Chains A and B, each alone.
Chain A
Amino acid sequence: MTNVENSVVRFENVGMRYGAGPEVLRDVTFTLPPASFHFLTGPSGAGKSSLLRLMYLANRPSRGVVSIFGKDVTQISRRALPALRRNIGVVFQDFRLLEHQSVFDNVALPLRVAGGNEEQIRKHVSELLRWVGLEKSIENLPSTLSGGEKQRVAIARAVIGRPRLLLADEPTGNVDDAIAMRLLYLFEELNRMGTSVVIATHNETLISRFEHRQLHLDQGGIEYRQNGAGSRDAASA
């Protein structure tokens, strides 16, 4: 179904455990092609966050193969990870904004880390903050923002570097439906520009409004689901 060589993400019999604890992911196998859009669903404790952590390279698997942009992350050195991570945008469930930095500096961070030109950074960040409706909060600290505003800052930070892969953990959890839809349209826009998107969510209403496929996790295993038709595919492509 998917060309493995060109895949953005490929998991092959992946198992993961934290320390000496039980496996939270078992024999997970799937492939995400370029410019794909998936919802990652499953009950609480199914391992959605662990799966995302493996995809944004916060952890390495206990077993199996995880390949990101065609590179086996179980084999590459630590020094090679930053270059891969710069192509991955992450919206954390708890935002993880730098509380001592302004909204502008938080959003500019990925570009600065990558050594971007300050003038260009100013232009792009201002433009994006205007797009997500935070142009008036540009100099504010995150502590002065509402939950929804923080979430938009987190999303802006995740997408500012035009990542090839965007991962979002419950990105619409703190916003009303109108803003949630607007954020999803932003993700779709990025997806149309070639970014592969994976959104972990519990929001069934939101999922039902889009015809994207689901990666459904349950008891550590994974299966594909097609939205709307209610069909289920085998997870391994």
Chain B
Amino acid sequence: MLLQRSDLPLSDDPAVRILPWIVGLMVYLATLTLAVALLVSTLTANWSAGLTGTVTIHIAVINDESEAVMNRRVEEAIRLSLKTPGIDAARAIPSDEVAALLAPWLGDEAPIADLPLPRIVDVTLTPDSTVDVAGLSARLKAEIPGAGLDDHQLWRDKLVDFLLAIQVVAVLMVVLIGATTVTVVIFATRSGLAVHNEVIDVLHLIGARDEYVAHQFQANALKLGLKGGFAGSIGGLLTLIVIRYTASELDIELFPTHLFQIWHWPVLASVPIIAASIVRFSARHTVLRALRRMP
């Protein structure tokens, strides 16, 4: 289909010659934007799963209670947690671990051991189960003085909202890139129709159907769309690889490309094909619409 001879010298049109460059640039941008959307999507899922899999019980120090009394309250909290359906495990975080977590903020010389630090119980939820977090929180407060439960809900919700906003913006950008491509194709095709008006008129007068003329435009548009699209796609994928390499060299999680899943690659690779199809359809639609107005 791509190698068919054409009755219209479309490849000579200045507006058409620029089409592969425009499509290439659009596919390049779309590939990068889509990569960001896919990474953020994975990141959202990972973070969401990580955070919803655990809740934290904190037990504040009450006056000058002894270590033994404090330990009893911790054990009671663990017992209460494990009695709650949907909780897989509960582990008291040793005081030295808590101290180690605080050390970077308080400094090495701070008397962390002397501080009245609360005790922390890390509660692991059973995957895919529903836990009555509010009920557990109420029971803890009622039965254990100074105990409270943090399910990270507020922080998690804000984070997930932020990541979803990034995804929406990325998808909108992809849509805008698509719309820009369609607009460029429409103008290039209209320009082609105007330039080749005489030839199209002759084709009509010797019996060519609108589809015959449209086929020539769409075949040319598809060829140019694929040419520009694959160039843009290769450029986009190479850019991702360079960013990943650079980020790993700097040892930063600026662009966590390791989060790419296997199905992401065919999605990214399909961008030039989808772009070329959009280009082809836009050219065909534009030509048929314009020809319908001819006698």
Contacts and interface: CB of A to CB of B under 8 A. Distances in A.
A157 interface: yes
B61 to A, nearest CB: 88
B199 A98 contact: yes
Contacts of B212: 113
A78 B209 CA distance: 9
B295 A60 contact: yes
A167 B208 CA distance: 18
Interface stretch (A82-90, A199-207, A219-227, A228-236): A82-90
Closest 4 CB pairs of A and B: A86-B207, A85-B207, A100-B9, A113-B208
Contact of B292 (A56, A58, A60, A78): A78
A90 B205 contact: yes
B193 to A, nearest CB: 16
Nearest to A85: B207
Interface in B180-220: 198-199, 201-210, 212
A113 B205 contact: no
Interface centre among B5, B204, B207 (most CB of A within 10 A): B207
B7 interface: yes
A157 B199 contact: no
B9 A86 contact: no
B207 A82 contact: yes
A161 B207 CA distance: 11
Interface in A71-114: 78-79, 82-83, 85-86, 90, 96, 98, 100-101, 105, 109-110, 112-114
A85 B210 CA distance: 13
Given A59-B295, A101-B7, A96 B207 contact: no
A70 to B, nearest CB: 18
B205 A56 contact: yes
A96 B202 CA distance: 7
A56 B199 CA distance: 16
Interface centre among A82, A83, A85, A96 (most CB of B within 10 A): A82
B196 to A, nearest CB: 10
B207 A114 contact: yes
A196 B212 CA distance: 28
B206 A86 contact: yes
Contact of B206 (A83, A105, A157): A157
B206 A85 contact: yes
Interface of A: 56-60, 78-79, 82-83, 85-86, 90, 96, 98, 100-101, 105, 109-110, 112-114, 157, 161
Contacts of B208: 82, 113
Contacts of B204: 82, 85
A112 B204 CA distance: 13
Contacts, number: 52
A59 B212 CA distance: 20
A105 B206 CA distance: 14
A58 B202 CA distance: 10
B9 A113 contact: no
B39 to A, nearest CB: 48
A101 B45 CA distance: 59
Contacts of A105: 5, 7
Nearest to B292: A78
Interface string B272-295: 000000000000000000001001
Contact of A96 (B7, B9, B198, B209): B198
B192 to A, nearest CB: 14
Interface centre among B9, B12, B201, B205 (most CB of A within 10 A): B205
Contacts of A86: 206-207
A232 to B, nearest CB: 32
A79 B208 CA distance: 10
A110 B206 CA distance: 6
Contact of A85 (B5, B9, B199, B205): B205
A110 B207 contact: yes
Given A100-B9, A101-B7, A109 B295 contact: no
21 contacts: A57-B205, A58-B205, A60-B295, A78-B292, A79-B209, A82-B204, A82-B209, A85-B204, A85-B207, A86-B207, A96-B198, A98-B202, A109-B7, A109-B203, A109-B206, A110-B206, A113-B206, A113-B212, A114-B207, A157-B206, A161-B206
A57 to B, nearest CB: 7
Contacts of B209: 79, 82
A57 B207 CA distance: 10
A86 B204 CA distance: 10
Nearest to A160: B206
